[in-house]
Amino acid sequence: MQIQPHTDRRRPLTATLAMAAVAAGALLAFQPAPQANAQQAQPPSTGQQLGGPQPAGAPTSFADLAERLSPAVVNISTTTKVAQPDRPRGPNLPENSPFRELFPELFGENGPGGGGGPARPRGSLGSGFVISADGYLVTNNHVIDGADEIKANFSDGRSLTAELIGTDPKTDVALLKVEPDHPLDFVDFGDSDGIRVGDWVLAIGNPFGLGGSVSAGIISARNRDINAGPYDDFLQTDAAINRGNSGGPLFDMAGNVIGVNTAIISPSGGSIGIGFAVPSTIVENVVDQLREFGTTKRGWLGVSIQEVTPDIAEGLGLDKPAGALISTVIDEGPAKKSGLRNGDVILRFDGQVVEQMRDLPRMVAETKAGKVVPVEVWRKGDIETVDVTLGLLEEDAPVINASADAPSDPSPAAEALGMTLKAIDPQARAEYSLGDEVEGVLVESVDAAGPAAEKGMRPGDVIVEVAQESVSTPAEVKDRVEKAGEQGRKSVLLLVSSRGELRFIAVSLEE
């Protein structure tokens, strides 16, 4: 079974996107789709917006909607020049040898010396749609990735060369521009946040090279994470989407684009009713940035986060698992400068509820750098609001590091939570390859039957905090664990440095 971005290559061509996930015990992978070989001639476009009001109830037919929207949907064809591999090196024979006539391929200009042949074009096909009368088009990044030439083929038979304005591989969105001789019909983005599971949708595209193909279905699910990128939030639909639909629009019944068809789950490359579209709220934000800057400019918070599990929520005193737990605050980052701390749980970001950890990266990315954002956090039993001025996300964002000095005087060992604890001394730093910046209490051994072992604690781990308080001696760890038990806690929250990475774990206090 495969998850596939659906572009087709006319020749054996590797997919320009790849991702893997496991579903129903099968491998899910991306593949890139074709254009129509024949298109019906249609009247010239008039440069009008083709959507309309949302009708009530289920449609008796999709014909009028499909006819109205099709002129704004294009087939995307690309050409990529691929150098031919070196030819075999021929033997070093005299110029008058008869073997030169029998095997000319070995002794031509690409014979001895082994030069490669001329570059040969390879093509791929996908879908796209017009978003402005002056010729801006949207498609998937994987449809045009690496292309030397891009063509937009319209339903009236025209074929226009498209210029690449910008791409965003993290959301698989690309913006193109053509220069039409008259205004183009176009479609608008709708509100994907308002679309509901069970709502009717219409897909128009270029499956298997059959341009202008229309399929209908419903929204099957929302907020799907298929491990395609850091901002996954796909709409799932059962409308037939196949290889070649990549980059094409998913419409609501008003004719507005509520998603860009991007991937499918399939055992064979054909539709089995599980397709995925990037929501229009994400696409529109990316397109606006590509149109203005030619690239994306995402906000940057400067934290490392982890999921708030039920036992971590209990250890923090939260009523239920929610939000994103900050495990590390990057030095000199926006969060650090604004006063956010390790152990804070971000509950709201710029007024939006952070229901789960994976919500936060999208929220931050969609917020402009330089904006002052209120961040509501759960901190040691209270809710506080911290104003953060977001930075600009760079590809070479700082590596997350802890920084502190090790305790100078070793303290006696202690037992807690099924672990033997000791102070960090030079011998321990050498034995476990602990950097000078690592501070806390060393885990010397772990009882395999103890509660710490159940949470994956290992010798060489370093306990940095207990119940959100820094610790530097084994006695401090033991005292704070006992205090948590006296307060009626079912678990105690530890911040642990393990092989150079920080993570929170909640260890049970119950016998």
Residues designated as active site? 142, 172, 246
246 annotated as belonging to a binding site for a ligand: yes
142 annotated as belonging to a binding site for a ligand: yes
Query: Rounded to an integer, what distance in angstroms lies between the CA atom of residue 429 and that of residue 460?
Result: 9
List residues bridging with 175 in a β-sheet: 138, 166
Quote the tokens at residue 488: 């009626």
Q: Following DSSP, what letter does each residue of 312-337 receive, concatenated?
A: HHHHHT-SSS-SEEEEEE-TTSHHHH
Q: What is the DSSP letter of 319?
A: S
Query: Rounded to an integer, what distance in angstroms lies between the CA atom of residue 406 and that of residue 267?
Result: 55
Asked if 257 and 251 touch (Cβ cutoff 8 Å), the reply is yes
Asked if 147 and 79 touch (Cβ cutoff 8 Å), the reply is yes
Collapsed DSSP state (helix, strand, coil) of residue 444: strand
172 annotated as belonging to a binding site for a ligand: yes
Q: Following DSSP, what letter does each residue of 255-311 receive, concatenated?
A: S-EEEEEEEEEESSSS--S-EEEEEHHHHHHHHHHHHHHSS---EE--EEEEE--HH
- Which alpha helices (H) appear in 339-433, and where do they start and end? 359-365, 426-432
Asked if 56 and 170 touch (Cβ cutoff 8 Å), the reply is no
Asked if 333 and 391 touch (Cβ cutoff 8 Å), the reply is yes
92 annotated as belonging to a binding site for a ligand: no
Quote the tokens at residue 507: 């260890």
Residue type present at position 347: L
Quote the tokens at residue 492: 């105690």
Asked if 485 and 450 touch (Cβ cutoff 8 Å), the reply is no
Q: Is 131 exposed, middle or buried (0-12, 13-18, 19+ CB in 10 A)?
A: buried
Strand bridging mode 73-82 / 149-153: antiparallel
Known binding residues for substrate are: 142, 172, 244-246
Known binding residues are: 142, 172, 244-246
